[in-house]
């Protein structure tokens, strides 16, 4: 079990990469860790009930030690099940636990967790209490500013204060409300308007709470501006689709004096990891579906991505080809 870094939430995690289903798996997190050694990374959401009742727990829980600091995100609504999940997360060596009360997926909400739980603050409080009592890790929560027509500021403020009293260590607030009927998850990421002013008011009225903002941040400069008002910034689709645009996180956000890595630097540094994955029966596409996002904005970038994608999908990509194609990027200074 890893030692716990006290006060790590406030002192280290100024910027985090949001948990995203089908995106933030262990391979993407390894790529992201080559870009930033400091940003907090998240697992995809894990349904606590699925974790408890599976005989393949390593499928959900395993990660590479290089990924830390790493938060595991749970979805669920049963305090007894979350109690067991909390113990597993600590024993497995995670740095913190995050509780999902923001996902608008119909499948998730039909299971009475995700964004629909914002309508039941008492139940959320019991879940947070159960997580806190059964581990010594920081326990955080990710939520929206409201759900459907229950989106008044009074409701939001009361929700946050109730959950703070239950022991939540940090609040990650997606500055959009969730519309559970009429919008799909993708639409819920774009159609409900961003309301940063609501989250600013929440922070102003609760200065002693750690409040991180999420939603719509496209670059480091926007994140730096947000840090003037909030304790942290969570970034999502922008960093997944355009990871290299965030290559100066450690320098600009954390003030570290280090060289910015190019796409070829990152790919070459991952060669031992990719080779090990392939040697152990893994598929090249598992990693390359994320890796191709590193290469954009240069001559023949699309050709490079297509070649890597096709060979990966056809199971024809090997380390030799990857090194050869990456050397071409180096020659172009990329």
Q: Please give the positions annotated as active site.
A: 103
- Look at residue 195 in the predicted model and tell me its pLDDT: 97
Q: Is 198 in the same domain as 164?
A: yes
Burial of 155 (0-12, 13-18, 19+ CB in 10 A): middle
Distances (CA, A) of 308 to 64, 116, 313: 24, 40, 9
Q: Indicate the number of domains in the chain.
A: 2
pLDDT recorded at residue 298: 86
Residue 42 neighbours by CB under 8 Å, 6+ apart:
16, 17, 18, 19, 24, 70, 71, 72, 73, 98
What's the pLDDT score for residue 115?
A: 84
Among 190, 220, 253, the domain boundary falls at: 253
CB 162 within 8 A of CB 128: no
211-267 confidence digits (pLDDT tens): 999 999 999 999 999 999 999 999 999 999 999 999 999 999 999 999 989 999 999
Helices (H), the chain: 8-12, 26-35, 48-52, 57-61, 79-92, 106-110, 121-133, 153-166, 185-188, 196-205, 220-226, 237-241, 263-269, 271-279, 284-291, 301-313, 319-331
| Whether residues 156 and 219 fall in one domain | yes
Average confidence score pLDDT of the chain: 91
Report the pLDDT value the prediction gives residue 8, as an integer from 0 to 100. 44
Read off the pLDDT band of 199 (50, 70, 90).
very high
Distance CA 215, CA 195 (A): 9
Of the three residues 253, 280, 298, the one that is the final residue of a domain is 253
Specify whether 199 is located in the same domain as 79: yes
What span, in angstroms and rounded, lies between the C-alpha atoms of 308 and 324? Answer: 11
122 with 226, same domain: the answer is yes
CA pair distance 41, 30, nearest whole angstrom: 10
pLDDT at 34 over 50: yes
Q: Are 21 and 98 contained in the same domain? A: yes
Q: What is the pLDDT of residue 212?
A: 97
Residues 66 and 194 in one domain: yes
pLDDT of 66 reads 94
Residue 325 lies in a domain: yes
Same domain for 86 and 142, yes or no, is: yes
Residue pair 333/309 in contact by the 8 Å Cβ criterion: no
210-215-217-220 Cα dihedral, nearest 10 degrees: 20
pLDDT value, residue 333? 80
What is the predicted pLDDT for the residue at 182?
82
Q: pLDDT for 95-146, tens place per residue?
A: 999 999 988 766 655 556 788 899 999 999 999 999 999 999 999 999 999 9
Answer yes or no: do 154 and 54 share one domain. Answer: yes
Measure CA 242 to chain center.
15
Q: What is the pLDDT of residue 112?
A: 66
1 pLDDT band, cuts 50/70/90, is very low
Alpha carbon distances (Å) from 16 to 152, 215, 288: 27, 12, 23
Q: Is residue 258 in a domain?
A: no
- The predicted model gives 283-303 an average pLDDT of 93
194 has pLDDT over 70: yes
Of the three residues 253, 284, 318, the one that is the final residue of a domain is: 253
Are 172 and 143 in contact by the 8 Å Cβ rule? The answer is yes
Residue 190 has pLDDT above 90, yes or no: no
The answer to whether residue 3 sits within a structural domain is: no
Segment 70-91 mean pLDDT = 96
Least confident of 33-47, 64-78, 99-113: 99-113
Residues facing 17 on adjacent strands: 235
Q: What range does the domain containing 12 cover?
A: 8-253
Residue 283: pLDDT over 60: yes
The CATH number of residue 172's host domain is 3.20.20.70
Token match 């749970």: residue?
74
Residue 169 has which token pair? 């260590």
Are 285 and 313 in contact by the 8 Å Cβ rule? The answer is: yes
């Amino acid at each position: 079990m890893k030692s716990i870094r006290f006060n790590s939430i406030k002192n280290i995690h100024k910027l985090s990469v949001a948990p995203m289903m089908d995106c933030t798996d262990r391979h993407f997190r390894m790529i992201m860790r080559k870009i930033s050694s400091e940003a907090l990374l998240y697992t995809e959401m894990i349904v606590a009930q699925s974790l408890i009742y599976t005989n393949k727990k390593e499928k959900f829980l395993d990660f590479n030690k290089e990924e830390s600091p790493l938060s595991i995100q749970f979805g669920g609504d049963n305090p007894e099940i979350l109690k067991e999940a909390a113990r597993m997360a600590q024993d497995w060596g995670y740095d913190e636990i995050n509780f999902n009360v923001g996902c608008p997926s119909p499948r998730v909400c039909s299971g009475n967790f995700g964004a629909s739980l914002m309508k039941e603050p008492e139940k959320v409080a019991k879940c947070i209490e159960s997580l806190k009592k059964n581990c010594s890790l920081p326990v955080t929560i990710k939520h929206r500013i409201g759900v459907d027509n229950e989106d008044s500021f009074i409701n939001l403020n009361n929700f946050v204060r109730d959950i703070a009293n239950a022991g939540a260590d940090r609040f990650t607030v997606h500055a959009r409300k969730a519309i559970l009927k009429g919008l799909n998850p993708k639409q819920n990421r774009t159609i409900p308007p961003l309301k940063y002013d609501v989250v600013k008011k929440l922070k102003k009225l609760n200065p002693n709470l750690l409040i991180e903002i999420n939603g719509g941040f496209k670059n480091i400069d926007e994140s730096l501006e947000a840090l003037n008002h909030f304790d942290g910034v969570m970034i999502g689709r922008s960093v997944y689709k355009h990871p290299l645009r965030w290559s100066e996180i450690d320098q600009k956000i954390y003030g570290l004096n280090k060289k910015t890595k190019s796409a070829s630097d990152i790919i070459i540094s991952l060669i031992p990891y990719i080779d090990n994955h392939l040697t152990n029966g893994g598929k090249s596409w598992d990693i390359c579906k994320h890796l191709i996002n590193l290469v954009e904005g240069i001559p023949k970038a699309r050709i490079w991505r297509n070649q890597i994608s096709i060979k990966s999908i056809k199971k024809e990509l090997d380390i030799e080809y990857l090194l050869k194609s990456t050397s071409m990027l180096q020659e172009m200074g990329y």
